[in-house]
Amino acid sequence: MPIVVDIDVMLARRKMSVGELADRVGITPANLAVLKNGRAKAVRFATLAALCEVLKCQPGDLLRWEAEAAADGDDVPQGGRESLGATGP
């Protein structure tokens, strides 16, 4: 998945355990593990906000985008909207 979750990085910086973060955010350790390990399909803004509040960080500290090669082996276009055939301002 092209969205990478870096919760483990922030946990290490804050010297906090997964269990403690889960308790303070109000989610189960199992659900936090799903998010932390990149298996989540979605995250609620309220959960993201609570994670940021507890970890004293910004959403971009927890989530980042990485290009992913297409299934047929071609690289993702690098030229932005124009390379995808999109037009407009």
Tens digits of residue pLDDT in 40-69: 999 999 999 999 999 999 999 999 999 987
Residue closest to 12 by CA, chosen among 36, 35, 28, 30: 36
Share of the chain above pLDDT 90, in %: 72
Stretch 57-83: mean pLDDT: 70
State whether residue 50 is helix, strand or coil: helix
Assess whether pLDDT exceeds 70 at residue 79: no
Tens digits of residue pLDDT in 8-41: 999 999 999 999 999 999 999 999 999 999 999 9
pTM: 0.74
pLDDT at 75 (0 to 100): 52
pLDDT at 72 (0 to 100): 44
d(CA 32, CA 83): 37
